[in-house]
Amino acid sequence: MNAELLITNASLITWEKPNRILEGQALLVGDGLIQELAASAELERRYPDVERLDAGGQYVMPGNICAHTHFYGAFARGLAIPGAPPESFLQILQKLWWPLDLALDEEAIRYSALVCLVDAIRHGTTTLLDHHASPNLIPGSLDILAGAVAQAGLRAVLCYEVTDRNGEAGARAGIAENLRFLNRCKQLHTVGGGGSRIAATFGLHASLTLSNRTLQACREAAPQGTGFHVHVAEGDVDQSDSLSKSGVRVVERLERFGMLGPDSICVHAVHVDAREIALLAETGTWVTHQPRSNMNNAVGIGEVEAMLRAGVRVGLGNDGFSNAMWEEWKTAYLVHKVWHRDPRRMSALDVAQMAIYNNAALAERFFPGAALGVIQPGARADLICVDYHPFTPLTPDNLPWHIVFGFHESMITTTIVSGQVLMKDRQLQTLDEAAIAEQARQIAPRVWARYAQNVGLY
């Protein structure tokens, strides 16, 4: 074992099951993994020569995981949508997202990823599952993202969203990009002995922009055992479209094409019925919940608690909102209460189940060989330090409520992935935030100008 780092004077939040909070601890990190945890004084005595990181009594916990995001949407910040505001979810796609992703060139793809990765490091999100679209530059686009992720040092699962909205050639190029990148990652994992921080899945936009023919082509192209990452029933329109195309609802349609299963991710699942929930549970398919996005798009709020009770594995994503996952915790905690007008809805325990345990199990599908999202010997050393001073007792039992009401991402001082320190005392170590923001501000007006030309195409 190659000892790399000794994190001392830590209050550990392990997120084991059951969770533990242990004070005065140290963590020995080596080969990208947590090797030992014990009383700080003991490990300091046993490993006098290993580089130290003094946590100064801060909470040290596993980094946050985001189960669904879109780096490509970064330049939407501050963008004005011309004409009348979108009136529906479909119009939001047609007036905002589709003209915007069409406006991305190589530099814009790279910088939209980099600004999101800065945000993720700063806000302690160490693993991200991204869903990419750039119809004017499809081949190699996932390599551009992978290059940015490697530069940042974060962990990410990448895919390209196949869709028919850019014609047959666009759909074919999307399939080819997924296959090429899946193959590249397979080699990376072989060469890197499973130590790679980049993995791949097969992306599909959504049932409503995919013909039966394209779905069949994706199924035939994807190697056995590959999962699909697809938006499902985000708006009602996805269901009416699926019924008219195939006579069955969206989840059943995907099931017919063999696209459900324990490596597949159905994003949102806002408008699914009892049979679809049962299918998701029976097949072990993942669902991800993005409450900020659902509120913003006014698509409604999915029956997340019912899905969890039915045995569906639901994780928490951000759909391109800030990579501050506790914000997503807070929104999930609040929105189900007002949506149902019932303060008993969405316990913080359910939020923790999604954001901690389910997200970790989902991420481990793509990074097999060591545990993620937990502090225990042998787990991956993806860690954050949190400068939180609770003024009421903090226990493993009430921690989820402390996170909802007390934790804030500005308290995160240090971010570590695979034992590599990406932010130390709030100073980024791998990315130059000011230079990246400056360059992004140079690029954004050109992206916005192309976007303005594209509005009206859909």
Chain residues binding Zn ion by CB under 5 A are 319
CB of 124 to Zn ion, least distance (A): 21
Residue 220 burial (CB count, 10 A)? 10
Closer by beta carbon to Zn ion, 93 or else 117: 93
User: Which residues lie closer than 8 Å to 260 by C-beta, 6 or more apart?
Assistant: 251, 254, 266, 279, 280, 283, 285
Q: Quote the least distance from Cβ 234 to Zn ion, whole Å.
A: 8
Q: Shortest gap between Cβ of 266 and Zn ion (angstroms)?
A: 11
CA distance 266 to 251: 9
At closest approach, how far in Å is the CB of 70 from Zn ion?
5
Question: Measured between alpha carbons, how far is 170 from 137 in angstroms, rounded to an integer?
Answer: 10
Return the SS3 of 257.
coil
- The three-point CA angle 395-397-401 to 5° equals 90
**53 versus 66: smaller Cβ distance to Zn ion:** 66
Residue with Cβ nearer Zn ion (276 or 319)? 319
Nearer to Zn ion, 67 or 118 (CB): 67
- Which CB, 10 or 67, lies closer to Zn ion? 67
Q: Least distance to Zn ion from the beta carbon of 68, Å?
A: 6
Residue 125: which residues within 8 A CB-CB, separation 6 or more?
63, 64, 65, 66, 119, 154, 323, 324, 325
Q: What angle do CA 39, 41, 47 make, to 5 degrees?
A: 100
SS3 114: helix
Q: Which residues of 61-77 are buried (b: 16+ CB within 10 A; e: fewer)?
A: bbbbbbbbbbbbbbbbe
DSSP secondary structure code for residue 310 in this structure:
T
Q: Strand, coil or helix: what is 230?
A: strand
**Shorter beta-carbon distance to Zn ion: residue 209 or 413:** 209
Task: Determine the residue with CB nearest Zn ion.
Answer: 319
CB 1 to Zn ion: min, Å: 40
When the beta carbons of 206 and 307 are compared against Zn ion, the nearer one is 206
Nearest approach in angstroms of CB 104 to Zn ion is: 16
